[in-house]
Homo-oligomer: A and B are copies of this chain.
Amino acid sequence: MSKPTKSVPVAGSVVAPRGFRAAGVFCDIKRLGTGKGSDKGAKPDLALIVSDVPAAVAGMFTTNQVCAAPVKLCVPRVRTGTAQAVVVNSGNANACTGPQGFRDAQIMARETARRCGLEEGAVLVGSTGRIGVPLPMPNIRRGIGMAAAGLGSTPAHADQAAEAILTSDTRAKQVAREFSLGGRPVRLGGICKGAGMIQPGMSANGSRPAAGSGGLHATMLAFLTCDAAVVPPLLQAMLAEAVARSFNRITVDGDMSTNDTVLLLANGLAGNPVLRLNSRQPERRRDREVLQEALNGVCLELAKMIVRDGEGISRVVTVRVSGARTDAEAELAARAVGNSALVKTSWHGGDPNWGRIMDALGYSAARVEEGRVDIAYSAPGQRARLFSLKQGRPTRTSFETLCAAVAPTEFELHINLNLGRGRTVLYAADLTEAYVDFNKGNVNDPASLGG
């Protein structure tokens, strides 16, 4: 079989695919009370993405038992398989807000439907920000009105939407790619946000995977658009696979949010032959492979942007574990290392401290035998590895050489447990004074206190 055609980057993120429009507006959700004059320079805080026609939809949601109202609203709506718009606010998570919170999420959808001329059930909702504070509904309503009036399909519109969903992020996160399905050009675009409370562990319905498969896991939100024609169950399966390889493989601080959400709308306007779950035609199977590869790529690119822009981080470390007894044990080992306060502070200090890595492996729930563990470093994507430990014994590599390996802002850590064929990868980050300073907030300025 020939290799699937590669996708190429294009501009416009969520409005790159045919038939999608977007907007991002400022409606003062944090109620900072900025005067109208200064509002023009304020970061937008409400985003709207609309498809010209009803689209197939797929979603992945936090498995946190304390999940936000917009998640509760979206899970059943995604299950219908069809949607046409997504409205998202930052500055307020609408989490732990009780029945009123759920009604407010419904009102967001209803107001969007009314303004855009859609069915209420075709509107999905996302929120991110402080937990436990009711949404400022007058501001939300005003924002939805402005956004609906301002929808457009230029890259500037996508930029505004990408800005609107940010919280503690320092920059917008967008990507879009074009590829070919059945001879037709197809586009897939996405925007996302992250920064803190980041260790997503999402599933299709918010229910938890089996114990031991990595249950532990900021608000991260990602919204993807595509003009391919795909039936909803296949779209859901494809998104689940892409999320398992991307957003569910990142950690900034080990805290899984109440709001983590990934939504994908595919409106079919590319006119490709419809992709179905059980299609056996070689051409369609190949199309499916091409789309999956593009989806995996776009999700991974967005997920890595979240880690690179994690709160206060100074280094991104790709933790690759191999040789575990099972993939699930590789996962437990990788998360023990990637979430260890002592390992993370050593990364911040540029200290190739393999003792802390061994310690974290040893207390993980994965089987580890001290005398078998290999630990090595490489530059991102490079084959050449520098070993600090082989079969549990320090190599002759000098301390200075190891320091040089962990000095770059991005490097890969390879851990081989040499016990089996289980493997995984985790995109992790260091722990810095800046993270602590940011998250301790300022009690004299309650608005600074994150959710």
Residues on A facing B (Cβ under 8 Å): 63-67, 93, 95-96, 98, 130-132, 196-197, 201, 211, 215-217, 253-258, 340-342, 345-346, 348-351, 353-356, 358-363, 365, 367-371, 392-394, 399, 403, 431-433, 435-437, 439-443, 446, 449-451
Contact = CB atoms under 8 A, between A and B. Distances in A.
A432 B254 CA distance: 17
A98 B362 contact: no
Contact of A359 (B131, B201, B345, B370): B131
29 contacts: A64-B362, A65-B370, A67-B362, A93-B355, A96-B354, A96-B370, A96-B392, A131-B354, A131-B356, A131-B358, A132-B358, A196-B342, A215-B363, A215-B365, A254-B340, A254-B341, A255-B340, A255-B342, A255-B363, A256-B362, A258-B358, A258-B362, A341-B341, A341-B435, A349-B449, A351-B443, A403-B443, A433-B436, A433-B437
Contacts of A361: 65-66
B359 A257 contact: yes
Contacts of A341: 253-255, 341, 431, 435, 439
Contact of A355 (B96, B211, B256, B356): B96
A371 B451 CA distance: 18
A381 to B, nearest CB: 25
Q: Which 10 A-B pairs have the closest CB atoms?
A: A131-B355, A349-B440, A66-B362, A345-B439, A64-B362, A256-B363, A433-B433, A253-B341, A65-B362, A132-B355
A446 B441 CA distance: 33
Contacts of A351: 440-441, 443, 449
A439 B349 contact: yes
A104 to B, nearest CB: 15
Given A65-B368, A368-B66, A353 B449 contact: yes
Given A360-B255, A362-B65, A349 B441 contact: yes
B65 A369 contact: yes
A255 B359 CA distance: 8
Contacts of A256: 359, 362-363
Given A349-B440, A441-B346, A442-B349, A64 B359 contact: yes
A350 B442 CA distance: 8
A363 B131 contact: no
A449 B342 CA distance: 11
A449 B432 CA distance: 16
A363 B216 contact: yes
Nearest to A134: B394
A339 to B, nearest CB: 8
B65 A350 contact: no
A96 B451 CA distance: 41
B255 A367 contact: no
Contacts of A436: 345, 348, 431-433, 435-436
A436 B348 CA distance: 8
A356 B197 CA distance: 9
B363 A435 contact: no
Nearest to A217: B363
Nearest to A196: B342
Contacts of A449: 346, 349, 351, 353
A363 B64 contact: yes
Contacts of A95: 355, 358-359
A229 B237 CA distance: 67
Given A95-B358, A341-B431, A351-B440, 7 more contacts: A215-B365, A255-B342, A341-B435, A349-B443, A350-B443, A353-B441, A432-B436
Contacts of A370: 65-66, 96
Contacts of A435: 341, 345, 436
